A and B are shown apart, each in its own frame.
Chain A
Amino acid sequence: MSLEQFKDRNVGTQNYVKLDLEHTPTEGWCKFKQVVKRTFQPELFQGLGVTLREMINALFRNKMHTTKYPFEKLPISPRYRAVHDMLRLMESGNYRCIGCGLCEKICISDCIAMETKYDENQRKEVSEYTINFGRCIFCGYCAEVCPELAIVHGGRFENASEQRAGFSLFEDMLTPMDQLNQQQEYAGFGAISPNADENIKSTPLAY
């Protein structure tokens, strides 16, 4: 992509079509002409044509827009901040969290609660870790501050629950052991989406 494209800032204006707006007629004869003109213009039938074309498109040319949501889902951006995931170390399968407590400290809605203790190897162990999703505002600070990339945002956005506040325990968010090979590294919420290049447009403003 060359720089030339970004310098031409009038990209948005090229498709504008000039509307044929006339002054409102004042004399009777002009008014009559306007009524006759509007009557015999096929504008109404153009409208009918558009809807019929869309119907044919939808039915026979496979251009239906509907996503049958619970059965099929649209892909979401890797930057999307949904319910948290706790990642494991790929080598050992141990969880990455070192119990430093930074996420608990930085959480601005105070929804992360954790308790840690030393295990028999004098290594910090997370004994209790919950996120109150009734309070969480999904700001992403916890994922940003985590030094080990242990707490990240996943893609599970369907968090309707029967109770007012949904609590999530450490084990719920932790990658299951048998799906360890499917664990994906979180690109971080400053990451660009895979199709970012296609989405780039220059600003349609003329200064």
Chain B
Amino acid sequence: MYESIAFYVFAISTTILFLITVMSKNVLYAMTALAAGMVMISGFFFLLGADFLGVVQLVVYVGAVMALYAFGMMFFDATKDIKEKHQNPALVFLLGGLMALVFVVMFSAPIIGDNIKAFYPVIEGVGNAQAVGMVLFTKYLVPFEVAGLLLLVAMIAGIILAGKKMDYSLTESEAADEEMKIEPNSIEIQKGDA
């Protein structure tokens, strides 16, 4: 009973939050709703007993949306609404609605047909993290490694794009030494005679 109440609470709040994300014209509302929606989704994982995935959802999306905020901060004025240009709002609405409908049908068809079964059922006595690890390093090893490689490529590309003059320091360079006129013996003190 409690679980179904919790499920409906999470489901309704997730839907509303993502609706705000899509509908809102204010970048601050949109991103906050996105972050909150991601947190709400982690609630589903907790309900299903997948603590590890729930926490990973929390940690990963909190960080990801934080990076999104950084971009939002650079591109938009957070206190003003954004004027959007819609060429044909009716068409967008129709296509988007149809896509959503298709997805719902696709995912609910096996459930309705009662033709769904878990490939990797939960093993008793094995922790959540271990179960995820086992699946990740046996069946999904290749996609996992490919994803890792992809991220590495993206990271190197990012460093190359952003990394010009990254080793130039304002305070620690020869030019800065010149500026401060540090010479080896300049500070030595002449004592006595004046």
The interface of chain A, by Cβ under 8 A from chain B, is: 8-10, 13-14, 16, 18-19, 21, 23-24, 26, 206-207
Contact = CB atoms under 8 A, between A and B. Distances in A.
B176 A24 contact: yes
Contacts of B173: 24
8 contacts: A13-B189, A14-B191, A16-B189, A18-B187, A23-B182, A24-B176, A24-B177, A206-B194
B181 to A, nearest CB: 11
B192 interface: yes
B188 interface: yes
B3 interface: no
A16 B190 CA distance: 11
- Would you list the 6 A-B pairs with minimal beta carbon distance, nearest first? A206-B194, A24-B172, A10-B194, A21-B182, A18-B187, A16-B189
User: Could you say which of A8, A24, A206 has the most chain B C-beta atoms within 10 Å of its C-beta?
Assistant: A24
Contacts of A24: 172-174, 176-177
Instruction: Kindly state the interface size class of chain B when it binds its partner.
Output: 10 to 19
A30 to B, nearest CB: 12
A23 B172 CA distance: 9
Interface in B108-143: none
Contacts of A16: 189
A13 B191 contact: yes
A24 B188 CA distance: 20
A23 B182 CA distance: 8
Interface of B: 172-174, 176-177, 182, 187-189, 191-192, 194
Given A13-B191, A206-B194, 20 more contacts: A8-B194, A9-B194, A10-B192, A10-B194, A13-B189, A14-B191, A16-B189, A18-B187, A18-B188, A19-B187, A21-B182, A21-B187, A23-B174, A23-B177, A24-B172, A24-B173, A24-B174, A24-B176, A24-B177, A26-B174
Nearest to A26: B174
Say whether chain A's binding surface is mostly helix, strand, loop, or mixed: loop
A171 B72 CA distance: 71
Nearest to B193: A10
Nearest to A25: B172
Contacts of A8: 194
Contacts of A13: 189, 191
B182 A207 contact: no
A109 to B, nearest CB: 46
Nearest to A8: B194
A18 B191 CA distance: 13
A207 B194 contact: yes
Contacts of B194: 8-10, 206-207
A10 B194 CA distance: 7
B148 to A, nearest CB: 28
B61 to A, nearest CB: 35
A13 B193 CA distance: 12
A113 B192 CA distance: 59
B37 to A, nearest CB: 43
A40 B173 CA distance: 23
B163 to A, nearest CB: 16
A18 B182 contact: no
A9 B176 CA distance: 34
A159 to B, nearest CB: 47
B182 A10 contact: no
B91 to A, nearest CB: 59
A8 B176 CA distance: 37
A177 B176 CA distance: 70
Contacts of A26: 174
Contacts of B174: 23-24, 26
A36 B88 CA distance: 62
A14 B173 CA distance: 32
